[in-house]
Amino acid sequence: MCGRFAVTLPQDAMAQLFAARPVNDLPTVPNYNVCPTNDVHVVTSDSADRQLGSMRWGFIPHWYKTPADGPLLINARAETIAEKPAFRSAARNRRCLIPASGFYEWTKDEDGNRLPWFIHPAEGDALAFAGIYQSWDKGDAPMTTCAIVTTGANEPMGKIHHRMPVILAETDWPLWLGEAGHGAATLMTAAPDDALRFYRVDPKVNSNRASGPDLIEPLGN
């Protein structure tokens, strides 16, 4: 799964990296502790134009009468995304990229204490998570919401958690965004074993209220 991540890339650098035009109020960066229900950066495309916008992290199916009408859908499993009623239309027609500088995952020690790890790209400053999105208009104000697609972990990540976000290489962005025809389903696989690095970080990030650059500092530094 992916339940917490960090975004440190400046807005203009993010727009340049994804060749995307900023289109609405963007979340503040840096944010070292992006949590479910936060607004997140999202790249979408209409084939002729890429946009860098903001969406609520936590996918709301169209039949929900309120945002809390069912479980909070922050992740969509690659193995079942095409079958689940909540996700199947979005998987076909509303795919996006969700930029991140890295994400957190947890293991436990022998006493059951949660031990956080920060997972980041082996090269470069950013990751592009595969995402899907959905507009929801039954509340006082319409909102657009998203979920991160996940898959089974690669061998190194499997030492920390059995699942991981689908991370897309730059060459695959056009296909996922629908700019390069059909076949996006083939991209929903684990990243290569050498794509990521990880290290332990301070347990203070266990709190969703924690903030600051020290959250991603290696433990003991």
**Which residues are tagged catalytic?**
2, 105
Contacts of 142 (CB under 8 A, 6+ apart): 135, 136
| First vs last C-alpha separation in the chain | 27
Which strand (E) or helix (H) includes residue 134?
A: strand 127-136
Q: Which tokens is 187 given? A: 């991209």
Note the Cα 220 to chain centre separation in Å. 27
Which whole-number Å values give the CA distances from 220 to 8, 109, 159, 199, 217, in the listed order? 21, 17, 21, 11, 8
> How large is the C-alpha radius of gyration of the chain?
17
CA distance 126 to 123: 9
CB 136 within 8 A of CB 62: yes
User: Are the C-beta atoms of 187 and 177 separated by less than 8 Å?
Assistant: no
